[in-house]
Amino acid sequence: MRHLVNFGLLFSFTALAVTGGLAYFQPFSLSVTNIHIIAGFVTLVLVILHIVARVPYFKNRMTKGRQRISARLQVVIIGIACGGLVYASINNQPPASWLIENSCNNSNRYSCCYIPKALCANSTHQTLQS
């Protein structure tokens, strides 16, 4: 089971990274987006299985931590950092906004639709419905 989860994580994360790169550097593609969503879901399930299989290890590290910084404090720091990144992504704050501003879809968003730039200025997701 352990090797199945590890190799599954390897392949699903590789697909997630490749499709994420394609989505960032190339114009929008529905097939790339579908593969990215499926790979993300598979990666999430495999990460959960990976963590559940290692609960004794995590319990041992949390109770017997003898480092300079305790294991609990490390978990809190990492949690705050991840929470801050999620908050920045949701509210379009740096560094998330810097990445989006440089993506192919954002820089070419007016060249692929028939709506003048002035009409699209208030929304980044407006397209012409036919």
Rounded CA-CA distance 34/19 in Å is 9
At 107, which helix (H) or strand (E)? helix 104-107
pLDDT in the model for residue 65:
58
The tokens for 11 are 């392949």
Give the residue ranges of the chain where pLDDT is below 70.
65-68, 107-130
Scan for tokens 């003048």, then name that residue.
Answer: 116
pLDDT in the model for residue 81:
95
pLDDT one-digit tens code per residue, 47-78: 999 999 998 887 887 777 566 677 778 889 99
pLDDT in the model for residue 103:
80
Per-domain boundaries in the chain = 1-53
Rounded CA-CA distance 85/59 in Å is 26
